[in-house]
């Protein structure tokens, strides 16, 4: 009797292996689906076990789905289907339910970032505002249940975002660099740099130009740029009575804008891979790197953001909220507003040099140079390990860009921050400026000064993941795609990219979402219009690709939930909302000029050289005649 039981159990275990009616499985299941959006479903099932038909049911509605087998992926793929009603839908087959799909009204997908942005601007409490956005999104995802929204928002979004290896690397890099700055500040190094720079850039305008130029020089990575320039120049600009808002603006405007158009940077590999993949799917054999190089003259926003910041600095003029901030700093000697909550507590007692401490500039400059050189060398080493030696038919410039683009920036930034700290410690201890105990206390104080900023960074990444799961970007695309026509593709693409990046706080995510959508549109629509010449078609294609990259930077530049915007506030010791409030008018002016004198003319066939000259001229006139000198007293 017992042996029969054993045989039965063995047969039960082996039955799924030999059964020909196995239940198909849905792959790539989304957290939620949105109404008025089309979806293609992929099913994992043996070719002989699946009939090729399933159906969706919701209350009294039933939609049939037809599938075809893709031999390359080994998956069954359905035709596109649209959910017309929100609620719980069942994906079922002949053997019963396969998956439950949660569908929400499309407009709800914009709610989490909208709540976060509005609360941050109204109440000036960024951390609380971001958590409210995460909570709202998690609640929507989990059937509008506030209890699940709270607990799963904490575990599935905040916890997961903090534990993500790349995010964690950025956190450790930021905090470690903050510790290094704490050591060199306590040892008098930063004050030594201030004293030295004051001899050569003693004036208000020269101080801004020096900050702008340093941002241009550190072009290879936006994170490294932001943290190095902000932390290095902050004591110097404070002495010149340049507001923290202006410093944060100059830092933010020379970070992502220069990195996205640099021939060698940590962005280029990512951008080229997106372009190459989209071209490959269209059957186009163009070299993705050369295509990227051709798009640079059409990246009107990044180029003009750099130009505009230069004009602001060299003319010494401002307007709007930035003018008020600069007048406060110049005439009241307040680099921060009275209500400011700086993201970095740079005035903590533990970070200030004791009276009598030798102010040696090289105690700050050498550790900073160590960070920069370690980053460059590390990117080359990690990139070379992936790409290998240069091919015979590969150009040197292309090879160098490929190697740097393939570098592991997250790993390298960790190396550079820790090595920079090590060099700073050795220098300070060898000169007996600080004891080991004092140096370690200064390092810890530097780390502690950035804790609030680190928490806000985690929350920003969390709401970015929420936006991905509630499909914020898809809703924006679906709401605007009917506006597209061949000549307006670059302009509308730039606007859509800006909206998505502003809503999600991520330029890279925006690029990943839009590039595979925009490139086919920019290729097909002009070819369907007999009035558009081949040369004009090429301009539309290049300017549309550039619009994706530029619009992503623009939206990221304006967004209070963007990690780079937060890091600019952090490195500059600025109140985050004050930074956003003063920078946004400048970013909007540059974006408007980029559209009017750049993307619109490009859509109608004008070459980029003319557009850049027109845009730069317009920005110069705006700064010259709309701006006022903050150094002049108001009558």
Q: Which residues contact 611 (CB under 8 A, 6 or more apart)?
A: 298, 300, 597, 598, 601, 602
> Does residue 459 contact residue 127 with C-beta atoms inside 8 Å?
yes
pTM of this structure: 0.77
For the chain of 635 residues, list the mean pLDDT of each consecutive stretch of 10. Answer: 45 40 70 83 78 81 84 83 86 82 89 87 82 94 92 93 88 87 85 76 86 84 81 88 96 91 77 84 80 92 97 95 95 91 70 82 89 89 89 80 82 90 95 93 87 83 87 80 82 92 85 85 85 92 95 92 88 92 96 96 87 95 94 68
Q: What ranges in 41-164 are assigned the alpha helix state H?
A: 111-123, 126-141, 146-152, 160-163
Token pair for 469: 């799961």
Can you give the pLDDT at residue 20?
Answer: 40
Determine the pLDDT at residue 22. Answer: 55
pLDDT score at 542: 95
Which tokens in the block code for residue 223? Answer: 């994170």
H and E: helices and strands count for the chain: 28, 12
Say if CB 512 and CB 119 are below 8 A apart.
Answer: no
What pLDDT was estimated at residue 635?
55
The tally of CA atoms less than 13 A away on the side-chain side of residue 390 is 14
What is the enclosing helix (H) or strand (E) of 90? strand 87-93
Burial of 121 (0-12, 13-18, 19+ CB in 10 A): middle
Tell me yes or no: is domain 24-104 CATH 2.60.40.10. Answer: yes
Q: Would you say 175 and 454 are in contact if contact means Cβ atoms under 8 Å apart?
A: yes
Exposure of 46 by Cβ count < 10 A (0-12 exposed, 13-18 middle, 19+ buried)?
exposed
> What pLDDT is stored for residue 460 in this prediction?
83
pLDDT value, residue 486: 86
Domain spans of the chain, in order of start? 24-104, 108-163
pLDDT of residue 326: 95
Closest by CA position to 108, among listed 138, 63, 146 = 138
Q: Rounded CA gap, 91 and 99, in Å? A: 5
pLDDT on residue 345: 65
Structure tokens at 539: 């301009």
**Cβ atoms of 54 and 98 closer than 8 Å:** yes
Element (H, E) at 237: helix 222-239
Give the C-alpha distances (Å, rounded to integers) separating 632 from 201, 236, 238, 323, 626: 20, 21, 18, 11, 15
* Burial class, 29, CB count within 10 angstroms (exposed 0-12 / middle 13-18 / buried 19+): middle
Structure tokens at 635: 């009558």
């Amino acid at each position: 009797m017992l042996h029969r039981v054993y045989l039965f159990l063995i047969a039960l275990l082996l039955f799924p292996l030999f059964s020909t009616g196995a239940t198909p499985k849905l792959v790539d299941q989304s957290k939620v689906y949105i109404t008025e959006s089309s979806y293609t479903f992929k099913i994992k099932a043996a070719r002989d076990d699946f009939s090729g038909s399933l159906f969706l049911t919701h209350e009294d509605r039933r939609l049939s789905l037809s599938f075809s087998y893709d031999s390359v992926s080994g998956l069954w793929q359905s035709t596109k289907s649209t959910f017309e009603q929100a609620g719980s839908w069942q994906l079922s087959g002949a053997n019963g339910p396969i998956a439950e799909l949660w569908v929400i009204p499309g407009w709800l997908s914009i709610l989490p970032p909208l709540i976060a942005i509005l609360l941050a601007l109204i109440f000036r409490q960024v951390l609380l505002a971001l958590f409210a956005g995460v909570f709202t999104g998690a609640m929507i995802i989990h059937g509008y249940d506030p209890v699940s929204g709270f607990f799963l928002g904490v575990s599935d979004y905040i916890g997961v975002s903090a534990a993500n290896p790349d995010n964690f690397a950025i956190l450790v890099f930021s905090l470690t660099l903050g510790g290094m700055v704490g050591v060199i500040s306590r040892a008098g190094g930063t004050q030594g740099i201030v004293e030295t720079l004051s001899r050569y850039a003693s004036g208000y305008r020269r101080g801004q130009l020096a900050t702008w130029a340093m941002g241009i020089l550190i072009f290879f990575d936006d994170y490294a740029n932001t943290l190095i320039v902000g932390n290095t120049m902050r004591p110097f600009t404070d002495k010149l009575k340049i507001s923290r808002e202006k410093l944060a603006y100059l830092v933010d405007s020379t970070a992502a804008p220069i990195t996205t158009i640099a021939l060698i940077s940590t962005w280029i590999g990512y951008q080229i891979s997106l372009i190459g993949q989209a071209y490959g799917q269209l059957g186009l054999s163009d070299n993705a790197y050369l295509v990227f190089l051709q798009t640079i003259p059409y990246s009107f926003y990044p180029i003009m953001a750099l130009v505009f910041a230069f004009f602001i600095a060299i003319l010494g003029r401002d307007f709007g909220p930035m003018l008020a901030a600069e007048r406060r700093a110049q005439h009241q000697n307040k680099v921060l507003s009275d209500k400011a909550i700086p993201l970095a507590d740079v005035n903590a007692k533990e970070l200030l040099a004791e009276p009598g401490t030798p102010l040696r500039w090289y105690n700050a400059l050498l550790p900073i140079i160590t960070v920069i050189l370690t980053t460059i060398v590390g990117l080359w080493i990690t990139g070379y390990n992936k790409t290998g030696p240069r091919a015979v038919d590969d150009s040197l410039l292309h090879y160098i860009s490929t190697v740097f683009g393939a570098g592991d920036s997250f790993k390298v930034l960790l190396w550079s921050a820790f090595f920079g700290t090590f060099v700073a410690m050795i220098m300070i201890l060898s000169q007996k400026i600080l004891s080991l105990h004092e140096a370690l206390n200064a390092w810890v104080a530097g780390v502690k000064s950035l804790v609030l900023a680190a928490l806000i960074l985690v929350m920003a990444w969390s709401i970015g993941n929420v936006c991905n799961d509630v499909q914020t970007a898809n809703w924006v695309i679906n709401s605007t795609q009917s506006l597209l026509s061949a000549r307006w593709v670059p302009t509308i693409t730039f606007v859509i990219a800006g909206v998505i990046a502003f809503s999600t706080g991520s330029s890279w995510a925006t690029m990943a979402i839009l590039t595979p959508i925009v490139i086919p549109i920019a290729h097909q629509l002009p070819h369907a219009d007999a009035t558009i010449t081949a040369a004009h078609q090429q301009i539309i294609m290049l300017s549309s690709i550039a619009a994706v990259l530029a619009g992503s930077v623009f939206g990221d530049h304006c967004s209070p939930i963007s990690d780079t915007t937060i890091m600019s506030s952090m490195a500059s010791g600025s109140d985050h909302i004050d930074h956003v409030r003063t920078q946004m008018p400048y970013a909007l002016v540059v974006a408007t000029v980029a559209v009017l004198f750049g993307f619109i003319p490009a859509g109608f066939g004008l070459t980029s050289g003319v557009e850049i000259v027109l845009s730069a001229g317009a920005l110069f006139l705006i700064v010259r005649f709309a701006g006022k000198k903050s150094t002049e007293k108001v009558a």
